[in-house]
Structure 1
């Protein structure tokens, strides 16, 4: 049975939803999302309910509270087993209790167990999370409020006697959404998949605006917002004050600076560059690749999907580049002793061998094939690009990532995690350590579009030699919170975080200088920022 989202009983029956209030606060490229949901138990008996909600990838929950009647409990972090024991004790004694935990089924789904919701009693749940807004191909920043979080509740039972999610025109709850945008750049416009009230600018330079979702939205689809700034590629520096209640010198007590870097790739420069490189494809051929891509009807075997994707990649490479293909499991093998020139003959030979690839090589041991690949000399003017496909985990993730990092100067890694079983630490880590790009293919998502997107990245030049230099007065130090960034691809944006520590007796401003290179062309940007930002309760 498919699990509903929102507040549901222990038998997966939705508890009636009465109202939703969402406040979205955007600061440059980061959003704070506060959602308050009101429920009521309309049954004639107590319910032990569970609140289930999906979070966007990389979202960070900063507040979670639940209120039943007059009692409110705010979530705090505890050891998992200790929290479970305390929750069980409270429920068995008839007390209201709340238990928030990550789902075993998905790292992006969280559950809050709510004990003893009495007949007619209301439950109010508030969640606040922070997330970096993703950049779209048209340079817009994207935000999505999923409709799955707010199922419709129909009091009338279905044929099976179970209340179901309704698609009726009349919604049984109210929905409000307010958006507040503050930016160091001028706000151009805000678009949505749903009707909005007119955008209202709150200052003359159009850096502060607000908008509301129009009344009567049915919430039968996701609410998607696209935010456009005027100077998309202009780097920015924004400072947020430390929390007034936190101890100075602590993570929350000192100001934090956020720098955005979204390099521009001029069309004339891109058109003048020839596509070249050495493309090495590394395919997991362990036994688990015989499994289906997903559990629904019509699912294909993972190895077959990988084979078809590899065939597409081979036919898409530029003439004159170099390439090779590795298969790995408990051991590994390669099509050619070393990478060969891509020609009609070598392509045809590779296509025949790819069609015969099977998941017949035992376990998942990726370290040795990587060592072998890195031991091969690189070809001048043909940067090495690794495409790695795997559905598994390895026991030596740190050793693999250290190896990739030690060769970061000679290659980029484009890694693909196939199915939910793929290790996120491995897939993301290999891409991050080599300034590459990571993708995950899960559920019914097709592999080919994501792989072709990465191939386009691999065929493009990257901004490199990125440096961050600080000009700050005596008495102030900068503590970098983000790892160093060595390169960025076209369409990628980096957010760099740093903490400002100490006090300056005189000057109230500092500066940061961003430098990078694009195809031997140096670019320099200097940004000013305040050392004494206005205190905010956000």
Structure 2
């Protein structure tokens, strides 16, 4: 057995030279134009294959290629037909370009650049539009994915496109292409600021109202991580409606021929209802323990791993759960485990057992097979009067994304799902899909982000009264009818945006108005939110709203196809195939709107100046950046697989033996399928660096770990250490008539409010639980305790601040 590494770029040049990205953000919709510049520097004709990520809900709506002065615009075709056209073009010496979406995950695309003659250059233009998600701090998040972590394919899973989703990735320092990135932001409301995980040039305002601005990445940026922008508007929580005129050349009555409206709803619920957090529920926490969870959270914090941050977050989450609820914790990799056989009642005993098990969890379970633990969870009977809330923590490196999301959708009536994407390269399709189909909320934790505040915001959502029986009703002028393109609203959360797309058919008069009413039940009481809007089409929107609406409908239909395929008999499948079914509707809609789908692809063929290909067509896989810290080595199956090449053993190779003669694939251990002997045995490289000492534990987490399930603290030496006082000092200042646990709890609350105000969103729920416990004790001398505690800790926290 001989270990082999990446074939260096000096021996096989990578044909992608540069990427240029222009971003235009209008309110909360982003249009992204990427230009990829290729050059064949070899002496033989070349086919370049680039597997790369896009946001999971992006609508790819334009694809073209420029060779010399020749511009070729791609068309959307049924996927198999597009592939055949591509192969036919290559075999006849024509240049061809094929862009297709993965059948397993909607955030992975494969771009094939075919038959580039020696010395030839090609410029590929790719355009997509996407909605921007609202974050915990009200910022709109845009992410330009750079890192495509290899996706783990479970043993025995189907799929005919294994070759097309093979990901070639290298350490970021070896990426041979550059990135230039600029953004233009406009909104009816002023742009207050734009932040990024990468260095930016100063924000430039284009008008005195500050409603338009531009920003660029600072010079010298290496495309070695996802580029993330957070855009903040003043008064962002305003409901809006945008009506877009239909395409003049499209048939009236069709989706592209009729006007389409995009509603942006921000429900506001009564404070009296929202302040009463639920004290019941079944909380099921599902933690990814695959090998890639051992990666660092960010380069700025090399000591903090994904699994370490997740452990700390689970501790905080467990301590913040209300008395009276039920809970369980699952963890998964190639297999899965659970702490309790079934969900148990929340108590000091069960909490202590769970915390102990969580502290022992490491990223040692191999691959990323999330489907089986989800099936096990859904097979457990729900507990009466305890609504199930599922929290999923993963770095999102799964192959069967659509299968996972469809399972969540099938069980959406029994639970809400809150998802958390951890680290660079987490699949946006998986994280957003879990929350969308599960009626919950999605969060992404990247760079120097802290996981804890984002998770606590989702816990607040989970503890809010559930909004039930949601329905839409429309009031439109006579002669105008509506077809809703979006799936039914499954969830509404305080201050969070919900988007609805609808097709408007029929003629309306100048200045006509319409309205939509959202009816729902909140805490058992009927409520409604209404939005009035003008039917006059907005100017300068292109076909953005139509394409986003088409994308929404396409995704819904694709899900229906998948669910039907699961439940149909062979005879029913044959009958549907004969009659033309839901899949044909998706293809028709995709071709009509020019928006990508699972069943279609973009194909462009250059029929000008074609020459027969001389010699074999070389296959080159363009690498994507690999997440830092993920370095593995793998042995090829036979010595013969390696002998033909002089490999660079400093960089690891991971993939099938068939890929040894291409630009090598390198990535996480998750990507190698354990049971497939035709691939290889995986082994971690030995880390020869001296072992690092564990960093001291955060005092806040230490204090949190000492809290009991009921909300109180005990007066013990570990607590006094966190307070930086001796046991004698704490005992000596305790008012005589007060119980020790009351005194300890008041001291802990004072310490939190005095010294950890910057992390209040992390500990606020457990402090409310502590205050509730204190009130139930009806302890005497509370005011005296607060005064004594302030004197001891050297601060001035008022009793009212503690919720007492």
- Length-normalised TM-score, structure 2: 0.50
Structure 1 residues 378 and 133: alpha-carbon distance in aligned structure 2, compared to 1, 3 A threshold: same
Query: 8 Å contact 2:105–2:401 — kept in the other structure?
Result: no
CA distance in 2, matches of 1:217, 1:424: 27
* More divergent stretch after superposition (84-93 vs 428-437): 428-437
> Which has the higher mean CA deviation after the structures are superposed, 467-476 or 98-107?
98-107
Distance in 1, matches of 2:422 and 2:183, equals 37
Alpha-carbon deviation of 1:473? 0.9
Alignment-derived partner of residue 27 in structure 1: 26
1:529 matched to 2:531? The reply is no
Map 1:123-522 onto structure 2 (within 5 A): 123-145=122-144, 165=175, 175=180, 177=182, 179=184, 181=186, 183=187, 185-193=188-196, 194-196=200-202, 198-201=204-207, 206=209, 209=212, 211=214, 213=216, 217-220=219-222, 224-264=228-268, 272-274=275-277, 276-281=279-284, 292-293=291-292, 308=311, 312=315, 315-325=318-328, 335=340, 339-340=344-345, 342-351=346-355, 364=372, 366-367=374-375, 369-374=377-382, 376-378=383-385, 383-387=387-391, 401=408, 404-407=411-414, 411-414=415-418, 431-437=435-441, 454-461=458-465, 466-490=470-494, 492-504=496-508, 508-514=512-518, 522=527
- Secondary structure at 1:499's aligned position in 2? strand
Deviation at 1:428, TM superposition (A): 6.3
Q: CA deviation at 1:522?
A: 4.7
SS of 2:389's partner is: strand
Q: Is the 8 A contact 1:414 1:454 kept in 2?
A: yes
Call closer, same or farther: CA 1:144–1:472 in 2, change over 3 Å.
Answer: same
In structure 2, do the counterparts of structure 1 residues 394 and 371 end up closer, same or farther at CA, with 3 Å as the change threshold? farther
Name the SS for the 2:75 alignment partner. Answer: coil
Partner SS, residue 14 of structure 2? coil
Q: Secondary structure at the match of 2:88?
A: helix
Q: Do 2:274 and 2:465's aligned partners in 1 also have CA atoms closer than 8 Å?
A: no
How far, CA to CA, are the matches of 1:83 and 1:295 in structure 2? 40
Secondary structure, in 3 states, of the residue corresponding to 1:247? coil
8 A contact 2:315–2:358 mirrored in 1: no
Q: Could you tell which deviates more after superposition, 131-140 or 320-329?
A: 320-329
1:22-53 C-alpha deviation (Å, 9 max, x unpaired): 44333332111223344444555544333554
Secondary structure of the corresponding residue to residue 372 of structure 2: coil
Distance 2:462 2:132 in 1: 24
Structure with greater contact order relative to length (CA < 8 Å, sep ≥ 6): 2
Unaligned segments of structure 1, at least 5 residues: 150-162, 299-303
**Contact 1:309 1:451 (C-alpha < 8 Å) held by counterparts:** no
Question: Cα deviation per residue 1:410-445 (whole Å; 9 max; x = unaligned)?
Answer: x4333579999x999998666445422357899999
Cα deviation, residue 196, structure 1 = 4.6
Q: Take 1:130 and 1:417, find their aligned partners in 2: how far apart are those partners? A: 21
Structure 1 residues 309 and 106: alpha-carbon distance in aligned structure 2, compared to 1, 3 A threshold: farther
1-side partners of 2:15 and 2:291: how far apart?
31
> 3-state DSSP class of the match of 2:204?
coil
Matched residues in 1 for 2:530 and 2:290: separation? 50
Q: Distance in 2 between matches of 1:32 and 1:9?
A: 36
TM-score after normalising by structure 1: 0.71
Q: 1:438 to 1:186 in 2, by over 3 A?
A: closer
- Which ranges in structure 2 are unaligned for 5 or more consecutive residues? 149-172, 298-306, 544-804
With over 3 angstroms needed to count, the CA separation of the structure-2 counterparts of 1:402 and 1:311, relative to structure 1, is closer
Aligned-pair Cα RMSD in Å: 5.2
Separation (CA, whole Å) in 2 of partners of 1:423 and 1:36: 23
The 1:536/1:9 distance shift into structure 2, 3 A limit, reads: farther
The count of corresponding residues between Structure 1 and Structure 2 is 494
Bigger Cα displacement from structure 2, 449-458 vs 496-505: 449-458
- Residues 106 and 429, structure 2, Cα contact 8 Å, conserved in 1: no
Q: Structure 1 stretch 491-500 or stretch 317-326: which is displaced more?
A: 317-326
CA contact (8 A) 1:278 1:339 kept: no
Report the CA distance between 1:500 and its aligned residue: 0.6
Q: Secondary structure at the match of 1:25?
A: strand
Describe the shift of the 1:351–1:124 C-alpha distance in structure 2 as closer, same or farther (beyond 3 A). Answer: closer
Partner Cα distance (1:274, 1:433) in 2: 24
Q: Secondary structure at the match of 1:249?
A: coil
Shift of residue 370, structure 1, vs aligned partner: 2.9
Instruction: Give the secondary-structure state (helix, strand or coil) at the position aligned to 2:459.
Output: helix
**Could you tell me how far 1:211 is from its partner in structure 2?**
3.0
User: Structure 1 or 2: larger helix share?
Assistant: 2
Deviation digits for residues 284-337 of structure 1, max 9, x if unmatched? 9xxxx8853469799xxxxx9899579626742335232142769999988477
Distance across 2 between alignment mates of 1:280 and 1:90: 55
Distance in 1, Cα, partners of 2:421 & 2:542: 39
Asked if the contact 1:32/1:131 (under 8 Å) is kept, the reply is yes
Displacement of 1:466 after TM fit? 4.5
Q: Deviations over 1:376-407 (max 9, x none)?
A: 3215xxx4424467998799979955762443
Structure 1 residues 309 and 456, CA gap change in structure 2 (3 angstroms): farther
CA distance in 2, matches of 1:309, 1:387: 15
Give the Cα separation in 2 of the matches to 1:207 and 1:254. 34
Distance in 2 separating the partners of 1:522 and 1:500: 26
| Superimposed CA distance per residue, residues 214-241 of structure 1 (whole angstroms, 9 cap, x where no aligned partner) | 8x73334666544333322121111111
Deviates more, 1:428-437 or 1:444-453: 444-453
Task: Please say if residues 517 and 529 of structure 2, whose CA atoms lie closer than 8 Å, have aligned partners that are also in contact.
Answer: yes
Contact 2:15–2:40 at 8 Å: present in 1 too? no
| Secondary structure, aligned partner of 1:186 | coil
